[in-house]
């Protein structure tokens, strides 16, 4: 059987820890390196419900996208949910590995999986990482093109159809009839990259967790620049667009955070099982937990 150390080495070859953002701490969170791994279970969030399902069989490695310990903690006792989860993992003979921002930027990682799911071609990273050892372009987010232009509303509905259901749903800001051809995608919280998205000149930005003030500023700036162009004044990254020069861009599509990041699992189980088999000769069983871990249980339109 493959040991946990062998599997972790494979994971960190596919999703190198050096790709992680400076504030992030992905990798092996809990588990004995000598553990004999019999299966790998995948889930976006290491919630207690996910842990309960993943630890029903000893020898399980749980691979999650979101960290268990996102912020620093000073205790993992029975008084704390993190301590309860760590304890459950060790008591059950299981382990937890997290691929967070390192998996966001990797080849066939979270960003590429989402962009592929939305039908984008001619992709490149939104924020490239210069890695001479990589055989493919890597970095945060993706920029790409649709095969044919569609309206913003049609594209937003296509995005929603690809995502697993949540009560939060999908929000859209922009002219619903405007044509969409170029797209930037950043699974996860994305309002910190508005400058990079504006500079790219894309028609629409698909991300998550857009806060009121940054989103309002972004869409208002897009509308103002479009108004200037209507007056014949070159403004914004769309000034050289000959097809839709007067469109306000980028429009915004706000998706549920865990839902868009779950698209990584269109690739990860197969990629990881193949790589572990190549490295160790062992073909591990894989299982995807599809339970909804989005925190919101009700949305009430007002």
Please answer whether residues 204 and 183 qualify as being in contact, where contact means their C-beta atoms are separated by less than 8 angstroms. Answer: yes
The pair of three-digit structure tokens given for residue 47, joined into one six-digit string: 């919630």
Nearest CA to 46 out of 89, 108, 80 is that of 89
**Would you give the DSSP letter of residue 192?**
G
Rounded-to-10 torsion of CA 170, 173, 174, 178: -10
Only one residue has tokens 């791994």, namely 37
User: Is 257 among the annotated ligand-binding positions?
Assistant: no
User: Is 9 among the annotated ligand-binding positions?
Assistant: no
C-alpha pair distances (Å), 85 with each of 35, 58, 68, 95, 227 = 18, 15, 9, 11, 53
**Would you give the DSSP letter of residue 164?**
P
Rounded-to-10 torsion of CA 229, 230, 231, 235: -10
User: Is 104 among the annotated ligand-binding positions?
Assistant: yes
Nearest CA to 99 out of 254, 272, 255, 260 is that of 272
Separation between Cα atoms, residue 190 and residue 198, nearest integer Å? 13
Please state the residue numbers annotated as binding site. 65-66, 104
Please state the residue numbers annotated as binding site for a divalent metal cation. 65-66, 104
């Amino acid at each position: 059987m493959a040991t946990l150390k062998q599997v972790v080495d494979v994971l960190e070859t596919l999703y190198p820890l050096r790709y992680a953002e400076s504030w992030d701490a992905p990798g092996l969170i809990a588990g004995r390196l000598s553990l004999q791994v019999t299966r790998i279970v995948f889930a976006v969030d290491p919630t207690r419900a996910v842990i309960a399902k993943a630890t029903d069989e000893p020898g399980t490695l749980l691979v999650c996208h979101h960290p268990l310990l996102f912020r620093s903690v000073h205790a993992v006792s029975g008084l704390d949910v993190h301590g309860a989860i760590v304890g459950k993992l060790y008591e059950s003979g299981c382990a937890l590995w997290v691929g967070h921002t390192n998996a966001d930027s990797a080849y066939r990682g979270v960003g590429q999986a989402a962009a592929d799911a939305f039908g984008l071609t001619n992709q490149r990273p939104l924020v490239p990482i210069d890695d001479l050892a990589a055989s493919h372009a890597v970095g945060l987010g993706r920029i790409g093109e649709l095969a044919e232009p569609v309206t913003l509303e049609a594209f937003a509905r296509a995005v929603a159809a690809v995502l697993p259901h949540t009560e939060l749903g999908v929000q859209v800001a922009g002219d619903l009839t405007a044509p969409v051809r170029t797209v930037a995608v950043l699974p996860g919280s994305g309002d910190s990259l508005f400058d990079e998205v504006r500079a790219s000149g894309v028609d629409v930005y698909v991300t998550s967790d857009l806060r009121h003030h940054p989103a309002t500023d972004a869409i208002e700036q897009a509308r103002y620049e479009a108004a200037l162009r209507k007056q014949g004044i070159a403004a914004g990254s769309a000034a050289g667009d000959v097809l839709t020069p007067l469109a306000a861009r980028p429009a915004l599509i706000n998706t549920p955070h865990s839902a868009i990041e779950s698209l990584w699992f269109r690739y990860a189980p197969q990629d990881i099982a193949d790589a572990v088999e190549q490295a160790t000769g062992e073909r591990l069983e894989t299982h995807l937990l599809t339970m909804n871990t989005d925190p919101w249980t009700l949305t009430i339109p007002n």
